[in-house]
Structure 1
Amino acid sequence: MFPDLTRDDVFRIETRRLWLRWPTAKDAEAVLRLAGDLAVAEMTARIPHPLPRAEVDAFLLQARRGNAAGTGLTLALARRSAPADLIGIVAVSGGADGPELGYWLGRPHWGAGLMGEAVAAIRDAYFAYAGGDVLRASARLDNPASRRLLERSGFVRTATEARSFLTRGDDVTVDLFRLERARWLGASAIGPETAFAA
């Protein structure tokens, strides 16, 4: 899916306020602390609570393996002023229906628009570097902030469905979203700041 350009662990994307870089073993404590926060974990479909350290270590290895193989792109978010300090994760990985966007941000960093910046960066990398045609995403019904973020990033809601996630022990109702290459290209011509303004 992703080209050689992204398959080296020196690859990074810089935005106005963020570095998006490959996650490393040194990020484990930050992932455990931030993603293990109930307020973060419960807004996702896949992060268990409590979050065991062994799962964090396995996630980091799997992310690096997927990045190296080009089967996905998982990037650690860090502020440009502190590039070694992980504050969240954004990823495009293979889903049941094709490439899917996923993300989380540590609670101390909520409300500053950082995840919108990160999602725009990886969305653009997917369409520009990987030549993707469609990118999918989902958001829990009880997570309106995530749904708004996807809509501002150009995604269009296509359906609502219940999905089974083992980490939740039950079905989770989610809104499904998709962004097609043609829509992304049209917005790119407008410019990154105004592309999908609400």
Structure 2
Amino acid sequence: MFPDLTRDDVFRIETRRLWLRWPTAKDRDAILKLAGDPSVAAMLARVPHPLPAPVVDAFLLQARAQNTAGSALTLALAPRAAPGSLIGVISIEGRTEGPPELGYWLGQPYWGSGLMAEAVTALCHAFFAYTGGTELAASARTVNPASRHVLETCGFVQAGSATRPFPARGADLPVDLFSLDRRRWQNPPSEPAMTRAA
């Protein structure tokens, strides 16, 4: 799915305030702390709480393997002023059915700053520019209006609702489904989120 350009760990995307870069073993402690926060983990399908270190180690290995193969692109979010400091994760993964899916999380101390919309905009631009893909899917728990707002800010439109497995929560939970197609990406309804003032 992703081209050779993204399959090397020197690849990064720079935005006004962020670096999106490959995750590394040095990110382990930040992931344990930030993704392991109950307020973050509760919104994620595959992140248990408490979050064991071996789960993070396996995630890091899988992310790097998928990035190398080009079957997905998982990137750490880091402030431009401190590119070694992970504050969240964003990814696009292929699915057996339907378009590739965008997923993300941001550490609770960084909520409300517009950083996730900045990262989503940047990765969506990379997807449509580099892969020739025609559509991206995303979903947000119905109890997560902040994630819904990020998607709508970045041009995604609601495409229905469903119940999805959340194995780390031990249940199937209701989600809102979203879609962004190439035509909408090429003709956004407003100024891209990454160029707006903080």
Q: TM-score range by the shorter chain?
A: over 0.9
Q: Which amino acid aligns with 1:92?
A: I
- 8 Å CA contact 1:41–1:47 kept in 2: the answer is yes
1:41 corresponds in structure 2 to 41
| Displacement of 1:94 | 1.4
2:173 corresponds in structure 1 to 172
Distance (whole Å) between structure 2 residues aligned to residue 180 and residue 160 of structure 1 = 18
What CA deviation, in whole Å up to 9, does each residue of 1:20-51 have, x standing for no partner?
00000110110000000001100222211111
| Identical aligned residues as a percent | 62
1:56 corresponds in structure 2 to 56
Secondary structure class of the residue paired with 1:47: coil
For structure 2, the 5+ residue unaligned runs are none
Once the two structures are superposed, the pairs formed by residues 118-137 of structure 1 within 5 Å of their partners are 118-137=119-138
- The reply to whether residue 6 of structure 1 matches residue 9 of structure 2 is no
1:185 corresponds in structure 2 to 186
Once the two structures are superposed, the pairs formed by residues 2-151 of structure 1 within 5 Å of their partners are 2-95=2-95, 96-151=97-152
| Displacement of 1:193 | 4.8
- 8 Å CA contact 2:122–2:194 kept in 1: the answer is no
- TM-score, normalization: structure 1? 0.94
For structure 1, the 5+ residue unaligned runs are none
| Displacement of 1:163 | 1.0
Distance (whole Å) between structure 1 residues aligned to residue 46 and residue 186 of structure 2 = 31
Distance (whole Å) between structure 2 residues aligned to residue 45 and residue 110 of structure 1 = 19
Count of residue pairs brought into register by the alignment: 195
Bigger Cα displacement from structure 2, 117-126 vs 157-166 = 157-166
Secondary structure class of the residue paired with 2:46: coil
| Displacement of 1:98 | 2.6
Secondary structure class of the residue paired with 1:132: coil
| Displacement of 1:168 | 1.2
Distance (whole Å) between structure 2 residues aligned to residue 107 and residue 179 of structure 1 = 26
Distance (whole Å) between structure 2 residues aligned to residue 161 and residue 75 of structure 1 = 27
Distance (whole Å) between structure 1 residues aligned to residue 132 and residue 56 of structure 2 = 30
Q: Which amino acid aligns with 2:76?
A: A
| Displacement of 1:194 | 9.1
- TM-score, normalization: structure 2? 0.94
Bigger Cα displacement from structure 2, 126-135 vs 39-48 = 39-48
Q: RMSD over aligned Cα, in angstroms?
A: 1.7
